[in-house]
């Protein structure tokens, strides 16, 4: 078969994003999501924008910025946030937090509390909320009144999380006994995969939520909030804004769990939170 090169449209992209356009994107992204895009992240932003531009057939960063600004439906704004969001996660990441969670849940059950509410504020592709759900199922005698809200800014990762299907290499951190108990294995011609069972999925509600947009449309009080490895992308102003909302939604005695790499120093001065463990705070 003869291929005519004229049948293919080759798009040539700008070599680099210019300073003015970069600053406009950085300002827009910060206003939309609270994520700080500094000079060190210029090349990362550029690479990710090109991926989206390729799908749209655009060759200029200015063209894409214009497309975003002129989109009255808000669809392209969501696509932009999907592109720039970083989603690195795995099951039982920072495992000490799940040991503490089990103890907290057991304490609540012993105190006679039936209704338990947990918010996973950065669910990514679902490994964290499913880890929370497994922890609850293992720690409690009765989980019918446990509800987990799992939110993320990215619609793409939420779609993946709702399916709860993971290839073999993604479940390597899950103990075999838990994998057999809470996941179903399936095999295709290409690979093995595991899907979270209904016993886990029924505990979790997935929903899109932007942490930069306050007040959050949630009803408290919440017993535990997981917000790990998200606030490292925020400046101090945005962190304070987010922490205020967490405190508002937590019940007295409730727990906020953040990432080990995150420091809330400078944001707790006026917050009703006390450090009680490694990256664990209590209202």
Residues involved in catalysis? 48, 152
Residues 6+ apart with CB under 8 A from 152: 85, 87, 122, 123, 124, 158, 161, 208, 209
Assess contact for 258 and 227: CB atoms under 8 A: yes
How far are the Cα atoms of 55, 119, 264 from residue 205, in angstroms, in the given order? 31, 10, 28
**Whether the bond into 215 is cis, omega within 30 of 0:** yes
- Sheet containing strand 274-277, strands side by side: 204-208, 146-152, 116-120, 222-227, 250-258, 280-282, 274-277
- The Cα 118–Cα 150 span in angstroms is 9
Structure tokens at 40: 């060190």
């Amino acid at each position: 078969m003869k291929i005519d090169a004229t049948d293919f449209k080759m798009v040539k992209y700008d070599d680099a994003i210019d300073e003015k356009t970069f600053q406009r994107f950085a300002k827009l992204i910060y206003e939309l999501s609270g994520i700080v895009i500094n000079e060190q992240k210029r090349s990362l932003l550029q690479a990710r924008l090109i991926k989206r531009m390729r799908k749209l057939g655009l060759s200029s960063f200015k063209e894409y910025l214009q497309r975003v600004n002129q989109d009255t439906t808000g669809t392209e704004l969501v696509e932009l946030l999907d592109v720039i969001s970083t989603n690195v996660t795995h099951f039982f990441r920072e495992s000490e937090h799940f040991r503490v969670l089990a103890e907290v849940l057991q304490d609540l059950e012993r105190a006679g509390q039936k209704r338990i509410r947990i918010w996973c504020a950065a669910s990514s592709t679902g490994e964290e909320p499913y880890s929370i759900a497994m922890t609850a199922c293992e720690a409690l005698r009765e989980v019918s009144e446990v509800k987990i809200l799992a939110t993320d800014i990215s619609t793409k990762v939420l779609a993946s999380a709702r399916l709860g299907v993971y290839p073999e290499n993604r479940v390597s951190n899950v103990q075999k006994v838990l994998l057999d108990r809470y996941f179903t294995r399936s095999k295709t011609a290409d690979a093995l995969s595991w899907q979270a069972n209904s016993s886990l999925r029924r505990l979790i509600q997935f929903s899109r939520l932007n942490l930069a947009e306050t007040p959050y449309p949630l009803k408290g009080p919440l017993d535990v909030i997981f917000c790990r490895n998200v606030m490292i992308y925020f400046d101090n102003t945005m962190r304070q804004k987010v922490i205020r909302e967490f405190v508002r939604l937590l019940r007295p005695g409730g727990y906020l769990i953040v990432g080990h790499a995150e420091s809330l120093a400078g944001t707790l001065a006026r917050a009703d939170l006390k450090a009680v463990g490694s990256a664990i705070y209590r209202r």
